[in-house]
Structure 1
Amino acid sequence: MSHEMIALFMFSVMMVMLLTGQRVFGAIGFVAAISALWLWGTGGSDIPFAAVMKLMKWYPLLTLPMFIFMGYVLSESKIADDLYRMFHVWMGPVPGGLAIGTIGLMVLISAMNGLSVAGMAIGATIALPELLKRDYDKKMITGVIQAGSSLGILVPPSVVLVLYAMIARQPVGQLWLAGVIPGLMMAALFIIYIYIRCRITPSLGPTLSAEERAEITMTEKLRLLRAGLLPLAIFFAMMFPFVKGWTSLTESSAIGAMTAFVAAVIKRRMTWKVFEKSVRSTLAVSCMFMFIIVAAMGFGAVFDGLGAVQAIDRLFTERLGLSPWMILVLMQLSFLVMGTFLDDTAMLVIVAPLYIPLVRELGFDLVWYGVLYTITTQIAYMTPPFGYNLFLMRAMAPPEITMRDIYGSIIPFVGVMIFALAINMIFPEIALWLPELVYEGR
């Protein structure tokens, strides 16, 4: 059997296992181990051992549990509630103001946690009931929460970019900095769209009534502003020394985790229940990602040994005559298709052994491509019929929001995200300017 057929067989078996409901790391690791033994006999057993050793020596991986713990502490201690109350008071008089504030909330939650599911959970439990109570259009706000929560995998500290960094062997710090401007740009595009829609059709996002605004004193506004800005202060305390070069990324993540813990203690919200839930959740998520990384590294080692990447590169460039940009566009389209039935982690580890070396051979920057992958994953999260966020929203939304409402709500936001993806593809400097600026002087 040719190496190309072996590679195709590996992908086919892995996809069948995933479609039958097997865990991602189990399916990928199983295929990698069996293929290694089949190709190289007992010597193939060294591949998973080498992957584990490589993972354990990867010092920046320590940032993963630190940032996840920080996010869960701030979430479980209800500091996110203060954030939404702040946006509610300050943005209420603006057309669609609470929806705009929800996008702002999602950006800050993303900067605290790095997981889209955290933003979805907070948006569905805190923002959604409040927006429905104030007669916001249910399609509008459902789309707002889904789109806003997807920013969690792009705005640093993105856990997905940590996984990409490990597989692509790129610096985590550069990838996080590369995600800052595209992430803020996408949030700004969401806000512009919401404001224009609600300005044209005020019934979609009514403003706070004059009576409600009169009840809120300036003292209350300032108090809420101080409480709501606490997460920003934590993020600044964590990232400022890193950007200045005073600390490494791992040390900064420890500062963030400790600062969040101390803030929860000072506000008297660090109960034993909150601490236990935060630690358990951090351990569960961190172990899940570590298992997936080990499986992906083993799969990638087998794939590299087959020489499948070079064979596919020759197929696209020599036999089909496609230009590098055409190949890049096809790769992004494949992510959109896979996103209808897979989550971001599964998509990355399935195609990483093929796409990342191919991107390198085509001459593209792997840090920039990490941002493109993440944006495409965001879009795939919300693409019917089986987008990941669609079903998360259905599970968390009240009964009056139907699946039809959820599907219809994401169409304009997907359009905005495709526009943002196109801009970042045409102008790579949007993603690369900040990491080049920060790392140039080091």
Structure 2
Amino acid sequence: MIGIVMFFTALFMLLIGFPVAFTFAAVSVFFGLIAGIVEIYSYGGFDTSFLAGLAEGITEGIAMFDYMPFRIYSIQQNTILMAIPMFIFMGIVLQKTGLAEKLLESMGFLFGEVRGGVAISTVLVGSLLAASTGVVGASVVAMGVISLPVMLKYKYNTELATGTICASGTLGQIIPPSIVLIILGDVFQVPVGDLFSAAVWPGLLLVAAYIIFILIIAFVKKDMAPAIPADPARGNKSKQVRDALIAIIPSLSLIILVLGSIFAGVATPTESSAVGCLGALGLALMYRSFSIQMVKEAALESVKITSMVFGILIGATAFSMVFSYTGGEDIVHDFMTNLPGDEKWGFIIFTMLAILILGFFIDFVEISYIIVPILVPIAEHLGINPVWFAILIAMNLQTSFLTPPFGFSLFYLKGVAPPSVQTIQVYKGVLPFIAIQIIVLGILAVYPELFGITPILE
């Protein structure tokens, strides 16, 4: 039971605000020592001398970490994880080029005369930013700064406006190139390109579901998403379409370069991330926002975010090692394989509910590196397709950015929203979009063949 107590101790420390990487490392060392002491005690090591038995137990616990340098070295040699800093750098560079602003302004005017048009354009821009940058915080902040004041000015319902922006900004979690999918590819030991290919249609279905919801709301309650009057200063419709295409084509070209090279088998995700970095710098030159200072700032931000991810990964590696050593994996395996009903569906339903609930409190990186490695061997034992299971988890983890009270997207938006927008309005606004995500997750779980995915391996 030491592993189970360790798990809930780490969860409690995360909830009260301890830094993630240090929490995992400290809890691992502490419970590793306890496990060593308990083992020596069980073999009678304390019968002759308490201090001698305690010293022998501590030595046994420390010996458990002898292989940690090899684990860290294997992480450093993992070429899949090299894509993370490069995709982060690509996203930050594109953020600094003003890509989001250009897309939102052009598409907002293009769809503004349609009831709910600004909200629809926000979703479309969110999907384009997801496929070109994948940086959730940057997407939410950019759309919050530009799109939210426009929607509030034209009397959009505050809950609908804030919910649309938060949900659109989190599309980068499921639409490739997604950092979540790269991490899950490493955890599941499956090709990241396979996850990227499998995630495209579920991501597009989610975008379509958001747009359909906005259209229904705008039709049923006309005052919630009114049309914006035409602006003569923007020129005729053909000029607006031309301006929108000029804004969209560069980002689409980058998407084709990055994802197209992966899907066509020309490049691996790691190689395509390097292509994406060059493409982002090319767009910065085209938009006349390139400078050495900009590149330096983007590189520093990328290093900070990447260091956070790898710090968590090293702490999580120590955590999973101690968890396995103390028998925690065996307890979880026995519990998961003895759930009532069909064992495969019992496992899927329970894990999806557990990840959904944990997403209310902890971040996707912690879930990916602590919870998912425990589940992978059980999924393999049950014959579940790892690609399908990984996409289900990725779709589920997307909700962790939206779920109150600790969803990061909620904080990102509240930080740039006008003072008139209350936190409770942001919370209420995301609830319908969380429900939409759960519905799409259910469709992906029950009908994976619609997306070209085989759920169970033969």
- Same fold, judged at TM 0.5 (above): yes
Q: 1:214 to 1:224 in 2, by over 3 A?
A: closer
Q: 1:273 to 1:224 in 2, by over 3 A?
A: farther
Q: 1:33 to 1:214 in 2, by over 3 A?
A: closer
Deviations for 1:190-248, whole angstroms, at most 9, x for unmatched residues?
A: 00110111122222222231454874453353134212321111111222222222222
The answer to which of 380-389 and 401-410 deviates more is 380-389
Q: 1:213 to 1:140 in 2, by over 3 A?
A: farther
Measured in 2, the distance between the counterparts of 1:154 and 1:108 equals 12
Alignment partner, residue 187 of structure 1: 207
Alignment partner, residue 135 of structure 1: 155
The answer to which of 319-328 and 6-15 deviates more is 319-328
Measured in 1, the distance between the counterparts of 2:13 and 2:306 equals 23
Letter in 1 for 2:82: L
Structure 2: gaps of 5 or more residues: 37-59
Asked whether 1:27 is paired with 2:23, we answer yes
Deviations for 1:224-278, whole angstroms, at most 9, x for unmatched residues?
A: 4212321111111222222222222222111111011012113211133422221
The Cα shift of 1:283 comes to 0.9
Identity %: 29
Measured in 2, the distance between the counterparts of 1:434 and 1:101 equals 34
Q: 1:319 to 1:82 in 2, by over 3 A?
A: closer
The partner residue of 1:271 within 267, 278, 291 is 291
- Listed as ranges, the matches of 1:133-212 within 5 Å are 133-212=153-232
Q: 1:320 to 1:427 in 2, by over 3 A?
A: closer
- Tell whether the 8 Å contact from 2:144 to 2:165 is kept in structure 1 after alignment: yes
Alignment partner, residue 120 of structure 2: 100
The partner residue of 1:249 within 269, 275, 282 is 269
Alignment partner, residue 418 of structure 2: 398
Q: 1:318 to 1:370 in 2, by over 3 A?
A: closer
Measured in 2, the distance between the counterparts of 1:314 and 1:73 equals 47
- Tell whether the 8 Å contact from 2:68 to 2:318 is kept in structure 1 after alignment: yes
SS in 2 for 1:270: coil
Letter in 2 for 1:145: I
- Tell whether the 8 Å contact from 2:257 to 2:275 is kept in structure 1 after alignment: yes
Deviations for 1:45-69, whole angstroms, at most 9, x for unmatched residues?
A: 2332122111111112111111111
Asked whether 1:16 is paired with 2:12, we answer yes
Measured in 1, the distance between the counterparts of 2:260 and 2:358 equals 37
Measured in 1, the distance between the counterparts of 2:277 and 2:454 equals 24
The answer to which of 390-399 and 176-185 deviates more is 390-399
Measured in 2, the distance between the counterparts of 1:198 and 1:179 equals 29
The answer to which of 272-281 and 384-393 deviates more is 384-393
Deviations for 1:402-435, whole angstroms, at most 9, x for unmatched residues?
A: 1221122122212211110100000223455499
Measured in 2, the distance between the counterparts of 1:133 and 1:272 equals 38
- Tell whether the 8 Å contact from 1:368 to 1:432 is kept in structure 2 after alignment: no
Alignment partner, residue 374 of structure 1: 394
The answer to which of 84-93 and 103-112 deviates more is 84-93
- Tell whether the 8 Å contact from 1:33 to 1:48 is kept in structure 2 after alignment: no
How many residues in Structure 1 have an aligned counterpart in Structure 2? 431
Measured in 2, the distance between the counterparts of 1:267 and 1:412 equals 37
Q: 1:120 to 1:47 in 2, by over 3 A?
A: farther
- Tell whether the 8 Å contact from 1:332 to 1:376 is kept in structure 2 after alignment: yes
SS in 2 for 1:203: coil
- Listed as ranges, the matches of 1:71-90 within 5 Å are 71-90=91-110
Measured in 1, the distance between the counterparts of 2:433 and 2:369 equals 27
The partner residue of 2:141 within 121, 130, 134 is 121
Alignment partner, residue 47 of structure 2: none
Asked whether 1:302 is paired with 2:298, we answer no
Measured in 2, the distance between the counterparts of 1:34 and 1:350 equals 17
Letter in 1 for 2:370: I
RMSD (Å), alpha carbons = 2.3
The partner residue of 1:227 within 237, 247, 251 is 247
Asked whether 1:422 is paired with 2:446, we answer no
The answer to which of 190-199 and 9-18 deviates more is 9-18
Q: 1:252 to 1:138 in 2, by over 3 A?
A: same
Asked whether 1:388 is paired with 2:408, we answer yes
Letter in 2 for 1:407: Y
Alignment partner, residue 439 of structure 1: none
Q: 1:167 to 1:296 in 2, by over 3 A?
A: farther
- Tell whether the 8 Å contact from 2:402 to 2:409 is kept in structure 1 after alignment: yes
Letter in 2 for 1:32: S
The Cα shift of 1:146 comes to 1.2
Asked whether 1:334 is paired with 2:354, we answer yes
Structure 1: gaps of 5 or more residues: 436-442
The partner residue of 1:7 within 3, 9, 13 is 3
Q: 1:318 to 1:82 in 2, by over 3 A?
A: closer
Measured in 1, the distance between the counterparts of 2:6 and 2:377 equals 18
Q: 1:42 to 1:111 in 2, by over 3 A?
A: same
TM-score normalised over the length of structure 1: 0.91
Q: 1:211 to 1:21 in 2, by over 3 A?
A: closer
Deviations for 1:90-124, whole angstroms, at most 9, x for unmatched residues?
A: 21222211100100111111112223222211121
The Cα shift of 1:70 comes to 1.0
The Cα shift of 1:181 comes to 0.9
Measured in 2, the distance between the counterparts of 1:60 and 1:364 equals 23
Measured in 1, the distance between the counterparts of 2:380 and 2:323 equals 16
- Tell whether the 8 Å contact from 1:340 to 1:388 is kept in structure 2 after alignment: no
TM-score normalised over the length of structure 2: 0.88
Alignment partner, residue 302 of structure 2: 282
SS in 2 for 1:202: coil
The answer to which of 158-167 and 213-222 deviates more is 213-222
